Structure 1
């Protein structure tokens, strides 16, 4: 083993992806430990207190993950040590074995805008950044990130409770972003959506937008999203009573739309569904769970649609078995229909067998 030079070791270790095997390799000798560190591209941090002691071994990381508390000094060290970083995943999760609950982390223990600014300045190659439930992140940190990370394609700010329309104004100027998740960002309003939509470059790059549980938006904000002319996926679930038929009819004019969730928008009716069936010719997935005003007259409009594959109709109580049968029989591309369990009692076994022979039926 001692006869191997560094180049040979690097070549070997670049082919070892299993974390346990890499750990075993690093224990062979100091030379192997150094080579393993220099060829490591991925690191998941479980205990942040040890980061200063081992991070310098891994200067060529391209992916860094941590679901634990991470301080501003931690991120500053990361920025100076790993300038080649491309993916930064700092999403917090619900408690489960080995992971820290987001409820266990106090605001003053976690990183904020200072740490994010340090990463933005030191890691200019970032393409994907995930910061779900990081409560310390605010508008200024996001503004720094999007202005310095010129190749940013994915940004997840779900449940970052300090994000406001000001951050969306900065994001609107980005030219490379294709995925933006704002799930649960309750301070976002129509003004922020207008800023996103009016970004001349972002409006052409964005493909997926998650606005679920942004309950301060209304039809005006949703209507402004018509300018996102290449949008393929939009999530408006639980956005509140101010999003009605008018907003969905407007967004139906985005011909590129392929996936849409309008779950629990209680003021949607058949008018919205009819517009989607008529105008969204490439739609492959639609979820109208909890839209109780929708009736069979609206859903039947998808009979003959040429692209729809997934249709979720849970908690839609104004639909009948006949309505479902018309859609399933008339939409040849359909492969899954999610139905409310209540409807199961009204569907005969013969009808169920006939429909399930065409597409999968899920009882929700």
Structure 2
């Protein structure tokens, strides 16, 4: 039994694409393959043992074609100045599997179209690339192997981009956090046309209502749902996704209309291991006690002012391995 007490002043401010952190390169196969990172504007070829110090866009053009996963997201680098012209050079990397361009906000639809010519991509992250909109998303149909797509903070992407996004036929994990023009209609199209989805992040898509969660509940393989900051969602949303028996993680931070009844409806999920209720101020210990049947491993009740750890003891007794995150220390 472990509770993590956190001082509010120590908590960093989070944005909808706040996962913009440096990522190590991911190698596929032999570790002698070349990795390109733009931190410090240099490429070190581990297999060839050479270093390139060309300019940012020239560097991209000179990157080895055996590169497995260039990561361009380090906040300490100046890679965010890369433009559409620079990205075009990446199309030579026809063995590329993972591409991270998070925060490179000079990249627009033309650059995204170029990226979509790299048909081997399995994972693509363009979080915070504010100039990418629906026209760019239309090129995703080329990426037949793409499984993970992160468009968080691409606020120009809206409903008309959803049928285009759904044409990525292998897509299973999509992050649309902060795409503020996505509505219930867009989610309906996405859920009906891309049935392979198993993880959906719609945090801060503030126009969404309970209808969106109803549409997501029809996905046969749904295992993760993030709807932080979607304040229009109510207990009906939770009742809908409670039918998804494979659901493992649900994040409802800031969904202030959720009550005990909605939380209790999740108690019957046989695989639910993580639940985030941060800021769900109407939830009390009564709703949480009903979660004793679920195999919970992590529960976040930060800012749930009506819940005390003492009142939560029955749940902690039922789930001795449960980690509870809260601002309250154990008595």
**CA contact under 8 A between 1:289 and 1:313: conserved in structure 2?**
yes
Helix, strand or coil for the counterpart of 1:88? coil
**CA contact under 8 A between 1:321 and 1:347: conserved in structure 2?**
no
- Counterpart Cα distance in 1 of 2:249 and 2:189: 22
Q: Which of 271, 276, 292 is the equivalent residue of 1:307?
A: 271
Q: Match for residue 29 of structure 2?
A: none
- TM-superposed CA distance for 1:156, in Å, is 0.5
1:183 and 2:152 aligned: yes
- Counterpart Cα distance in 1 of 2:299 and 2:173: 23
Larger RCO: 1 or 2 (CA < 8 Å, sep 6+): 2
Structure 1 residues without counterparts, runs of 5 or longer = 1-38, 94-98
1:87-145 Cα distance to aligned partner (Å, 9 max, x none): 1211142xxxxx2478xx6xxxx22111111220x221111111011122111122122
- Counterpart Cα distance in 2 of 1:343 and 1:168: 43
Q: Which of 251, 254, 272 is the equivalent residue of 2:219?
A: 254
Q: Match for residue 100 of structure 2?
A: 130
Helix, strand or coil for the counterpart of 1:209? strand
Helix, strand or coil for the counterpart of 1:317? coil
| Rg larger in structure | 1
Matches within 5 A, 1:1-364: 41-48=34-41, 51=42, 58=45, 71-78=56-63, 82-93=64-75, 99-100=76-77, 110-120=81-91, 122-147=92-117, 149-197=118-166, 199=167, 202-203=168-169, 205-226=170-191, 227-240=193-206, 242-278=207-243, 280-327=244-291, 329-331=292-294, 333-341=295-303, 342-345=305-308, 347-348=310-311, 350-351=313-314, 353-354=316-317, 357=320, 359-363=322-326
Helix, strand or coil for the counterpart of 2:116? helix
Structure 2 residues without counterparts, runs of 5 or longer = 1-31
- TM-superposed CA distance for 1:349, in Å, is 7.3
Instruction: Identify if the C-alpha distance between structure 1 residues 112 and 44 changes in structure 2 by more than 3 Å, giving closer, same or farther.
Output: closer
**CA contact under 8 A between 2:36 and 2:71: conserved in structure 1?**
no
Q: Pick which of 346-355 and 296-305 moved more.
A: 346-355
- TM-superposed CA distance for 1:184, in Å, is 0.4
- Counterpart Cα distance in 2 of 1:261 and 1:125: 31
**CA contact under 8 A between 1:128 and 1:152: conserved in structure 2?**
yes
Helix, strand or coil for the counterpart of 1:180? strand
Instruction: Identify if the C-alpha distance between structure 1 residues 353 and 65 changes in structure 2 by more than 3 Å, giving closer, same or farther.
Output: farther
- Counterpart Cα distance in 1 of 2:113 and 2:204: 27
**CA contact under 8 A between 1:45 and 1:65: conserved in structure 2?**
no
Q: Match for residue 8 of structure 2?
A: none
- Counterpart Cα distance in 2 of 1:145 and 1:59: 24
- TM-superposed CA distance for 1:172, in Å, is 3.0
- TM-superposed CA distance for 1:272, in Å, is 0.7
1:8-48 Cα distance to aligned partner (Å, 9 max, x none): xxxxxxxxxxxxxxxxxxxxxxxxxxxxxxx5633545433
**CA contact under 8 A between 1:65 and 1:90: conserved in structure 2?**
no
Bigger share in helix: 1
1:140-198 Cα distance to aligned partner (Å, 9 max, x none): 12212212x1211111000001101011100134211001000100100100112112x
In the alignment of these two chains, the number of paired residues is: 293
- Counterpart Cα distance in 1 of 2:212 and 2:315: 35
Instruction: Identify if the C-alpha distance between structure 1 residues 44 and 131 changes in structure 2 by more than 3 Å, giving closer, same or farther.
Output: closer
Helix, strand or coil for the counterpart of 1:172? helix
